[in-house]
A and B are shown apart, each in its own frame.
Chain A
Amino acid sequence: MSSMFFQCLQAMLMLLMAPVLAGFLSTLKARLQNRHGAGILQPWRDIRKLFGKEVVLAEHASWIFRFTPYIVFTATAMAASVVPALLLDTPLSLTADVIALVALLGLARFFLALAGMDIGTAFGGMGASREMTFAALAEPAMLMSVFVLAIGAHSTNLTTMISHTLTTPLLIQPSIAFALVAMLMVAIAEAGRIPIDNPTTHLELTMIHEAMLLEYSGRHLALMEWASMVKLLLFSTLIIDLFIPWGISVESSFIGVLLAFVIWLLKLIVLLVALAVLETSLAKLRLFEVPQYLGTAFVLAFLGLILHYMLEVGA
């Protein structure tokens, strides 16, 4: 079968699986708190419900506010569709560059922050200011963490990096451990999870990501919510790709891709279980401690980089 077909399948899968996995995560959290939970399909039901509702627009909303949901969703969906989840070498893999990925997410964030400020409520502006402050710290940390791996592979292209990891013999590389911890910390912050942000809160004053969405309704809100679920899945897949890629299908055969899907799903479940346990056992950080948290992630990634040169280059 053609790799183009698998490329499309993979992109669809990322979009369709994202709400299911978000539902799985919240069900898992509910179980850990001794609750029953709403079931893993609840996010899908919510999205369907929101698409059926009318859009209420603020009087002062400009075109930025109306266009942002589409831009955010498209940018996130594009980023998600180029990340190799099942098949290593797809037609779009040339564009699967980590820096381009960060830029796509940056574009989404830029418009999100603009939309937050556009309607002129205090909450939107507050959320935008917080989001941008933290993004300025999170993005360098993420790039630095990726660079640790990119140096070995001599590329920031995901496919090249994965092939490099797959083809080199399995060695204990301390630099990777540092990069992994940094990447996990950044992913939690970027996906807006506890201890940085609480996606389920209703307290306007404590919100970061949600504060910018407060004025959205109907299909706009559905797209925004969906995009943030895709973002969670995107970061999980990115972590899998960079650090534990074994199991990804190298050839575009049906059996190979099916096997890759099962392995990918298992890895995701492990990551989400870890996240659920973490979220249940932690309270949210004080806002002023978030920069320290992200600073720590950056320092860890940087240490990984130094370690790479000290211990691994030329060995």
Chain B
Amino acid sequence: MKHLANTWFAEQLSNHNIYTEYLEDHHPARMPCLDIRHLDWANASKTAKLLGMRFVALWAAQAGQQDKKALYAYMAFVHPEHRYALLRTPINLENPEIASISQHYIAAYRMERNMQDMFGIKVNDIFDNRWWIKHEHWPEDAHPLLDSFDGNTPMASDPDRADIDYDYVPCDSECAYEIPVGPVHAGIIEPGHFRFLAVGEKILNMEERLGYVHKGIEKAMQGRNVEDALKLAGRVSGDSTVGHSWVFAQACEYAADMSISTRASYIRGVLCERERMANHIGDIGAVCNDAAFAFMHVQCSRLREDMARLHAEAFGHRLLMDCISIGGVSRDLSTDMCQKLIQQSRDIAAEVEHLRAIYADAPSIQQRVIGAGIVSIEDATDIGLLGFVGRASGHYPDARIEAVYAPYDELNVPIPKGKLGGVSTRVWVRFEEVANAARMIIQLLEHLPEGNIQTAWKAPQAGESGFAAIEGWRGEIAAWVRFAQDGSIDRYFVRDPSAINWLGLELAVRTVPVPDFPLVNKSFNCSYAGHDL
């Protein structure tokens, strides 16, 4: 798979006097990785902002077996026309520090804090210096992603730190009060803490505290062979397992410079769109249930269950786990099964349209969702909100278009364009995406080409890296992988869309009274597991 190197970003940077060096061992060439000088770091992100690029992710990685001492920071951007580009800069391991880019891209600040926690890299001029994923009871000098940290021995707990509380945004007014919610909730949902500052029923501020489901995925990836690593990648966030396994597989395939058969890519597309349909349907019901409109919830659960049962029959797993393999897919589809999938996708899309009419005609639920939890277009663009959350707020990034990967390069991917940014718009976008996904599934299955579903995997050389972006059902999932010797994983970084969309929720809830928070939260439905890693 030979692509021309994408030199646009390098040219633009050199126009701004930033010297770049193209890295040969990074793939694919159309999403290049450029090495820049340490002192140009903040300036490069400023230039990217000026060029109208969207911030994708920021992470760090130690150079692994080639050069034990070297530590690098990475950031990725994407331009609507000129696609993705990565920047890398070396960091001195003796005195690790780097400039903050959060004044240009606000969404970077939690990733910078994460980098501080995990690598002990000091981020200069960051406006928020609190620990993020690392909770207060961790020892101060524990930086789990450094090579020197041993992941197999339990950390010595520090009794002095046991009682330290996270430093929440304070309020000294006597009228305002705090509502701590979670991490243990009354219902069965993922753990996360929300700290509200409220006056009466009005929310002044809501602060998220995440990291309760930190599982050490990045550390656990190191040294795994690709098959085991793929299994783990598919469990980063269980409800978007297809998206996460696909992005890992794609990054590996790019790194190895291999391409998969068209049939396999079509089946991957079917899997991903089915996952999108099932999750959106489930969430639409859950949003309605949070406003005590239980009818929709029951109906949507039923449809989702029908999908899960057919998934078990067709792919061997109700939630489609482990259906994607490195170099293809693990299950082929018979002609009969294709017909079944086509038929069910069509039937369910029709039923959802029926439910949509009921939902749209019920004034009491409409009254709840319209105008609640609004994120303005400016804020959405500023943060770079992803997926259906972005699309509801006038910001329309879609990796299926921006990252041009098979099978979507042959499909017309319609993007529902919402503008109002409230709960009702997010639900509207989800209804539209269900319909579009069903259409794409039918189109893919009707034109499913013959061929192998598996291409032989040939491990890339040590030090080769790959970057991929996949539009999962929540939005763009970005992943970067680098290989060690003997074809095992050296470093893996993945950014779930939730890492960015959580910021949108903090803004959205400022417009609603306290009891409307669950409704707004559900309309975002960010992943805790995908964020905490």
Contact = CB atoms under 8 A, between A and B. Distances in A.
Interface of A: 29, 32-35, 122-123, 126, 194-195, 198, 200-206, 214, 280-289
Nearest to A204: B186
Of A202, A206, A283, which is in contact with the most chain B CB atoms at under 10 Å from its CB? A283
Interface residues of B, number: 30
B52 interface: no
B513 A203 contact: no
Given A122-B178, A288-B201, A205 B515 contact: yes
B298 A284 contact: no
B360 interface: no
Contact of A206 (B178, B290, B299, B362): B290
Given A205-B179, A205-B181, A206-B515, 19 more contacts: A32-B295, A33-B294, A34-B298, A34-B299, A201-B292, A202-B185, A203-B290, A206-B290, A214-B186, A280-B294, A282-B293, A283-B364, A283-B367, A284-B293, A284-B368, A285-B367, A287-B201, A287-B515, A288-B201
Interface string B489-533: 000000000000000000000000111111000000000000000
B53 interface: no
A287 B513 contact: yes
B69 interface: no
Given A122-B178, A122-B179, A283-B362, A205 B292 contact: no
Contacts of A198: 292
Contacts of B362: 281, 283
Given A35-B298, A122-B178, A284-B368, A205 B291 contact: no
A124 B258 CA distance: 59
A280 to B, nearest CB: 6
Interface in B132-185: 177-181, 185
A214 B179 CA distance: 15
B187 A203 contact: yes
A131 B292 CA distance: 18
Please provide the 4 A-B residue pairs with the shortest distance between their CB atoms, ordered closest to farther: A202-B187, A284-B292, A283-B293, A198-B292
B440 interface: no
A243 to B, nearest CB: 26
24 contacts: A33-B294, A33-B299, A34-B298, A34-B299, A195-B292, A202-B187, A203-B187, A205-B181, A205-B514, A205-B517, A280-B294, A280-B295, A281-B362, A283-B292, A283-B293, A283-B364, A283-B365, A284-B291, A284-B292, A286-B368, A286-B513, A287-B513, A287-B516, A288-B201
A204 B185 contact: yes
B340 interface: no
A21 to B, nearest CB: 20
B288 interface: yes
A286 B516 contact: yes
Nearest to B203: A205
Contacts, number: 80
A280 B302 CA distance: 17
Nearest to A289: B367
A205 B177 CA distance: 14
Contact of B364 (A195, A206, A288): A195
A286 B185 CA distance: 22
B178 A283 contact: no
Of B177, B293, B513, which is in contact with the most chain A CB atoms at under 10 Å from its CB? B293
A206 B518 CA distance: 8
Contacts of B513: 286-288
A286 B367 contact: yes
Of B288, B291, B293, B515, which is in contact with the most chain A CB atoms at under 10 Å from its CB? B515
A275 to B, nearest CB: 14
A284 B519 CA distance: 11
Nearest to A287: B515
A2 to B, nearest CB: 46
Nearest to B291: A283
Nearest to A199: B292
Interface in B252-307: 288, 290-295, 298-299, 302
A283 B186 contact: no
A195 B364 CA distance: 9
A282 B187 contact: no
B356 to A, nearest CB: 15
Contacts of A203: 186-187, 290, 518
Given A203-B186, A204-B181, A283 B288 contact: yes
Of B180, B186, B290, which is in contact with the most chain A CB atoms at under 10 Å from its CB? B186
B466 to A, nearest CB: 42
Contacts of B299: 33-34
